[in-house]
Amino acid sequence: MAQSETYLSPCALAADARSGRLYIAAHTGAQVLVWDTKSRQTTGKIPVAPSPGGIALSPDGLTLYVTSAIPAGEVLIVDTRTSRIQHRVPVGHTPVAVALSPDGANLYVCNQFDNTVSVVNLEQAKSVGTIAVLREPVGLAVTPAGDAVFVVNRLPQGHANGPYLACAVSVIDTAAAQVTHTIELPDGATNGQGIAISPDGQYAYVAHVLARYQFPVTFLEKGWVNTNALSVLHVPDRRFVNTVLLDDPQRGAADPYAVACTAKGDRLLVTHAGSHELSVIDRAAMHRVLPASDSPRNFISSVASTGDIVVTEQLAKADRLPNELGFFQGIRRRVPLTGQGPRSLAVLGAQVYAGNYYSDSLTLVDLSRSQAKPQSIPLNREAPLTLRRQGEMFFHDASDSYQSWHSCATCHGAQARANAHNWDLLNDGIANPKNTKSLLLSHATPPMMATGVRPDLDAAISSGIRYIKWIRPRPGQIEAISTYLHDLEPVPSPALSQGQLSPSARRGETLFKKAGCVGCHTPPLYTNQQKVDVGTNSYGDNDVRYDVPTLVEAWRSAPYLHDGRAASILEVLTVHNSEARHGNVSDLTDRELDDLAAYVLTR
């Protein structure tokens, strides 16, 4: 049975306070469930296009907006009275999050792989423009005044071998329809996901991971590898305020995902998709003890070299805050949820609903009763757990890692791809960090790791569980994760037009053969699975050979080379190709180099 016929995978929620309904986007179920909060029953199902992603509801509750998160992405406009799709609006590649303007006139849509935000005019039911943002926009929120859209970009972009690499927030001026501010987050910020703006319009809250990639992965205590963070932004001034850790000193709050405020603004809510929890934060108390920093870059130098993620006393409290565990002690309640993989939130009065992606359920948390136990509400019949689904769950589960600090997905993202940062994993010694690799086609392209130190995928999974999650593999765990990774499929490049090469890429295809690239990057896998000295070693050993990576999905796996020193394919071909080890391109013109890079980015 196909996964879409078996699992729902609730990924987004929209609440209607008037009717007491929840609308639940079921990502693998290809439908939107209409769920009544009074009877706690599903009262309707709206079939939609494949892979619904984001969802929003009009202020009057009569119209639902749902994205189809596929390469030929659409926004579906649904009449909630008839459950019929009234319009299909083409937008960009893999539209995910959506948000309405306060007046209900426009819909803003994150096109994850086009790196754009579409503006959909709802009266005309068509896209009236796209706005370029940074890398992989996945979350957005419109200010109560409607003058700006704050957009969370999931991944950092740029070189990985420098002193700073972090994802950021783009601020769109809605009148000008352009980005007017880019708000930096602290070094190591990655997996940007949820965002919420306080009801008074003063603050925005962004959930993300804070990777401690500057350190060798030698242990996990006190957030040595990954911490889980909430960044606070001042909305009127479009500026960074500070970043605080959601973890406790001996217990991680892995993979923060959805963020919401209660209607009164007294509580701030964050789901943790890896440790399966909900943080309920006293928002006013948080701001009373939250100092402001001049810059998110100030904290880079604040990590002590002694082994703890703590700080030197010489630093100002504001600048050391992103390294302090236990900030929320006394002002936050950590609520263990009954489901697995909470990725979405909806708030109706004092009732908070979390949508659990992997258990096909909702968890209800009553904020008016601090001692009340969360209630689990199934959405689907008991479905047999396939080996693939089990592997996907293992891959995204941090609750079994030492102190729940991170999951496999923390470093490889929600789809097991590359995640920008370098890591010193001790696979082949110390002080030689390598860039995170995509796991797509890893079963078909051994050996594993940048230097090929693991013979195959199963060996790499085993070592990752043992030496990165710091646990022993459970029976069947390696096989399940291997099955999940084996079934991953390439996503068509956003550089293609209806599946076809552009004229520039067609010229680049010829140059790919002429320059000798095809010798190492041999179709169809675009690798010869050999280890090669490409002249880019920077650790004193000139004989190090690196596994030839596949170029499949090269468009989404930047930065490039073993230590991420090349921010673009063009840099690989030029800046880091002095001995023609990445193709004989010395006689190519600038236009031909652009054509060759364009072809590689279509793979």
Residue 360 token pair? 């096909």
Query: Residue 541 has what pLDDT?
Result: 59
Same domain, 6 and 110: yes
Judgement on whether residues 78 and 121 belong to the same structural domain of the protein: yes
- The percent of residues in the chain predicted with pLDDT above 90, rounded, is 85
Apex CA 255: angle with CA 253 and CA 257, to 5°?
Answer: 110
Same-domain pairing of 12 and 88:
yes
CATH number of the domain that 442 lies in?
1.10.760.10
pLDDT band at 316, cuts 50/70/90?
low
CB neighbourhood size of 195 (10 A) = 25
DSSP 160-184: SSSS----EEEEEETTTTEEEEEEE
Mean pLDDT score of the chain? 93
Say if residues 282 and 299 touch (Cβ distance below 8 Å).
no
Distance CA 70, CA 66 (A): 12
CB count within 10 Å of CB 476 equals 13
Q: Are residues 120 and 89 in the same domain?
A: yes
The Cα–Cα gap between 575 and 446 comes to: 28
Given a cut of 70, is residue 245 above it in pLDDT?
A: yes
Residue 430 has pLDDT above 90, yes or no: no
What is the pLDDT at residue 579? 85
**Which of 102, 132, 162 is a domain's end point?**
132
Average pLDDT over residues 352-366: 97
- CB–CB of 354/22 below 8 Å? no
Q: Is there a domain that residue 596 lies in? A: yes
Look at residue 257 in the predicted model and tell me its pLDDT: 98
> Do 438 and 467 sit in the same domain of this protein?
yes
- The answer on 567 and 446 residing in a single domain is no
pLDDT (tens digit, 9 = 90+) per residue, 100-149? 999 999 999 999 999 999 999 999 999 999 999 999 999 999 999 999 99
47-66 per-position pLDDT tens digit? 998 999 999 999 999 999 99
Q: What DSSP string describes 237-286?
A: TTEEEEEEE--BTTB----EEEEEE-TTSSEEEEEETTTTEEEEEEHHHH
| pLDDT recorded at residue 542 | 61
- pTM score, two decimals? 0.94
What average pLDDT does range 297-323 have in this prediction?
Answer: 59
Whether residues 517 and 586 fall in one domain? yes
Is 159 a domain residue? no
Average pLDDT over residues 395-422: 94
Rounded Cα distance between 211 and 465, Å, is: 18
Number of domains in the chain: 3
Mean pLDDT of 204-220: 94
pLDDT of amino acid 578: 83
User: Of 132, 153, 176, at which residue does a domain stop?
Assistant: 132
d(CA 532, CA 582): 11
Q: pLDDT tens digit string along 262-291? A: 999 999 999 999 999 999 999 999 999 999
SS3 content of the chain, % helix, strand, coil (to 5): 15, 35, 50
Q: How many CB atoms lie within 10 A of CB 574?
A: 18
User: Per the domain annotation, does 333 fall within a domain?
Assistant: no
In this structure, of 257-266, 364-373, 560-569, the range with the lowest mean pLDDT score is: 364-373
Confidence of residue 552 (pLDDT cuts 50, 70, 90): very high
Please check whether residue 416 lies inside any domain of the structure. yes
CATH of the domain at 14: 2.130.10.10
pLDDT higher than 90, residue 157: yes
The answer on 30 and 69 residing in a single domain is yes
90-99, 204-213, 573-582, range with the lowest pLDDT: 573-582
Same domain for 584 and 510? yes
The amino acid present at 26, given as its one-letter code, is A
CA-closest candidate to residue 205, choices 139, 249, 278: 139
Q: Say if 397 falls within a structural domain.
A: yes
Calculate ∠ Cα 208-212-218, nearest 5°: 135
Q: Is 360 part of a structural domain of the chain?
A: no
d(CA 80, CA 61): 7
Say how far apart CA 406 and CA 253 lie, in whole Å: 8
Rounded-to-integer distance, Cα 538 and Cα 597, Å: 25
Domain identity same for 446 and 513: no
Q: Is residue 364 part of a domain?
A: no
Domain assignment present for residue 192? The answer is no
**91 and 55 assigned to the same domain:** yes
CA angle 148, 199, 38 (to 5 degrees): 120
> Which domain does 110 fall in, by range?
1-132
> 378-392 pLDDT, tens per residue?
998 777 899 999 999
Alpha carbon 336 to chain centroid, angstroms: 22
Average pLDDT (353-361) is 97
User: Same domain, yes or no, for 508 and 403?
Assistant: no
Question: What is the pLDDT, as a whole number, of residue 474?
Answer: 92
| Residue where a domain terminates, one of 81, 97, 132 | 132
Q: What is the pLDDT of residue 313?
A: 41
Both tokens of residue 483? 């099955």
465-500 tens-digit pLDDT: 999 999 999 999 999 999 999 999 999 999 998 889
Segment 5-26 mean pLDDT: 93
